[in-house]
Amino acid sequence: MTPDTPSDRLHFILQRTPEDVFEPDYASDVPLIQFAAFGRDHRMFGWVRLIADRLTDLLNSHSELLLTHVETESFEDGSVRSADEVLIRRSELIAVHASGPRGDAPSRRRTRAHAIAIQSGNYLIGGYLHAPPGSDPIAHVEERPLMVPLTDAWIEYWTRSNRTTQSIGTIIVNREQVDWMRVVTDEDLFGGLLRPAPIP
Instruction: Tell me which architecture the domain covering 9-98 has in CATH.
Output: Roll (2.30)
Residue-range domain boundaries for the chain? 9-98, 109-190
Model confidence at 67: pLDDT above 80 = yes
Report pLDDT for 31.
72
Model confidence at 106: pLDDT above 50 = no
> Which residue, 139, 149, 154, is CA-closest to 189?
154
Instruction: Tell me which architecture the domain covering 109-190 has in CATH.
Output: Roll (2.30)
Q: What are phi and psi of 60, to 5 degrees?
A: -75, -15
Cβ pair 114, 183 in contact under 8 A: yes
- Per-residue pLDDT tens over the stretch 4-59: 556 789 999 998 777 654 454 544 556 778 899 999 999 999 998 875 557 899 99
- What's this model's pTM, rounded to 2 decimal places? 0.84
Please, what is the end-to-end C-alpha distance for the chain in angstroms?
A: 39
Report pLDDT for 27.
46
